Amino acid sequence: MTRYDIVIRGGYVLDGAGAPPMRKDVGIVGDTIVKIGDLSNVEAEKIIRADGLFVAPGFIDIHNHSDLGVFLVPTADNYIRQGVTTIVVGNCGSSPAPLTDNNIDAFKEMRKEFYEKFGIPWRSFSEYLDKLEELKKSINVATLVGHGTVRSAVLGFENRPPTEKELSEMKSFVEEAMKAGAFGLSTGLIYIPSAFASLEEIVELAKVAARYGGIYATHMRNEGNLLIDAVIEALTIGIRSGASVEISHLKASGIPAWGNVKKALALIEDYARRGFDVSADAYPYTASSTGLEALLPKWIREGGRRKLIERLKDPEIIERIRRDLERSGVMEGRYIEWHQVVIALSETHPEVVGKDLAEISREWNLDPLRATAKLLIDDEGGTFVVIHAMNENDVKEVIKHPLVAISTDGSIREFGKGKPHPRNYGTYPRVLAKYVREEKIISLPEAIRKMTSLPARKIGLWDRGIIRPGMKADITIFNFYTVKDTATYEDPHSYPQGIEYVIVNGVVVIEEGRHTGATPGRLLRKG
């Protein structure tokens, strides 16, 4: 007779593939699910009584930014407590490797907290993955290689096309990452230096990722008025490179763009129907979050943060920025209004955290642009913001679409530090509570599919994302009737309710809502 390590007894199993829930037991040996069915009479080291609870595959966050955060908080509390068992990092064109003399100083500046604690423990992507593998952690980690990091490793932060030799060197870095186990290439086309890249440059690098079965994940060039143009560019890169396309955190930002997500989704659907592998992901909130510097024109950000700070001290440059912002529609009454930009983190001005730029400018007796410059100068470019610029109807359209996975666009957080976006603590329970249980815009099996098998199949995690014999035992057990997010914009450091058990690789990490301290997480490598 098989002796099980864990038996989950009496729960309603949601398989992750979209099937309706069925009351079944789940038997686990080691890190693997070995049987599903009636296990009422078997012996096990541990019995989890799941009567009245739902048993789902562990949630997979396909768009995460915990590349370094997992080293700082290896227990990953704010993700594990949401039911997330796997995160995909290296998004928006930013990964911690490869590092060369051309970008290592920028790494030190932008990743100051990590650098001061750990130094520079790697240079190549494979060395980064080796450190991730060694790390004792509670969560599984899969990685993408960031185009911005690859570009800066060769060209620094210059706004120019690469030479043929430089492009070849960039391809070599992507190939090294793919061979080491990366799941694809990402771009962040509003961030420096990815913003300087042409479509042709990205196609050539995406071809390398595609050759190894990798995806192309993109934070597109525009999520506002030019959203459709940006979607077309992403699709073109996929078609020309042969890479599977993942459009990151799909949204329409700014009042003039509201409603355009329907057109974007129709485009994605049309290309998917024609046989192209294209999909997207999204989070269930009407606010986004990024670095404050990303709101400024890309010319001022050329050269990295040190150059940015120097330029912001020049009054003439401030006036040039003002003219550029007025033309591009980021100023008051246009694309983003100053009162919509709320400070999430400022090391030098903690008193303004949670306040918007319009309010701060009044308190400081400065116009909003000069208040922005002061924050960036004092914080050495490290100010982070939450931006309230999306429409709830658009969010619903995206969340319910069958080609859209659920993601957070967040990162592992130190509890209580700053006022980050609540998505870092509440994304998955929020979907289950608000959009499934309360508003009923998607069914429970479909929501679980969008959190599990959809992202797993997208990147090629063939042994996760579904509850079946032979699959890895990453499992989330929740109370559908009580599950909910408690994190808010005002009080974001708040864990959700209703996530009762989380199992990672056959080890219980959350038990009766509490973190056990276990660290069974693994680095997952492509292939």
Element (H, E) at 97: none
Going by the DSSP 8-state scheme, the letter that residue 64 receives in this structure is B
Q: Name the one residue in this structure whose structure tokens are 């099996």.
A: 445
Which of helix, strand or coil describes residue 206? helix
Q: Which residues contact 9 (CB under 8 A, 6 or more apart)?
A: 25, 39, 40, 47, 48, 49, 50, 51
Q: Quick: pLDDT tens for 286-324.
A: 999 999 999 898 899 998 888 999 999 999 999 999 888
Provide the residue type at 353 as one letter: V
Q: Quick: pLDDT tens for 417-453.
A: 999 999 999 999 999 999 999 999 999 999 999 999 9
For residue 455 the two structure tokens come to 């992202």
HSE at residue 401, side-chain half, CA atoms within 13 A, is 28
Residue 193, preceding peptide bond in cis (omega within 30° of 0): yes
Element (H, E) at 45: strand 44-49
Concatenate the DSSP letters of all residues of 450-480 into one string. Answer: HHTHHHHHHHT-TTSSS-STTSB--EEEE-T
Going by the DSSP 8-state scheme, the letter that residue 251 receives in this structure is -
Which of helix, strand or coil describes residue 396? helix
| Separation between Cα atoms, residue 457 and residue 21, nearest integer Å | 21
Closest CA to 33 of 66, 63, 7: 7
Looking at residue 23, its pLDDT comes to 97
Dihedral pair phi/psi, residue 442, rounded to 5°: -140, 155
| Stated pTM of the model | 0.96
Contact 437, 480 (CB under 8 A): yes
Q: Which residues contact 327 (CB under 8 A, 6 or more apart)?
A: none
| Separation between Cα atoms, residue 214 and residue 243, nearest integer Å | 7
Q: Name the one residue in this structure whose structure tokens are 């993109």.
A: 218
Looking at residue 336, its pLDDT comes to 82
| Separation between Cα atoms, residue 336 and residue 388, nearest integer Å | 8
Closest CA to 189 of 155, 226, 154: 226
Going by the DSSP 8-state scheme, the letter that residue 434 receives in this structure is I
Looking at residue 1, its pLDDT comes to 63
Residues of the chain with pLDDT under 50: 332
For residue 401 the two structure tokens come to 């679409």
| Separation between Cα atoms, residue 33 and residue 24, nearest integer Å | 13
Provide the residue type at 466 as one letter: I
The number of angstroms, rounded, from the C-alpha of 183 to the middle of its chain's C-alpha atoms is 14
Looking at residue 326, its pLDDT comes to 78
Q: Quick: pLDDT tens for 139-174.
A: 999 999 999 999 999 999 999 999 999 999 999 999
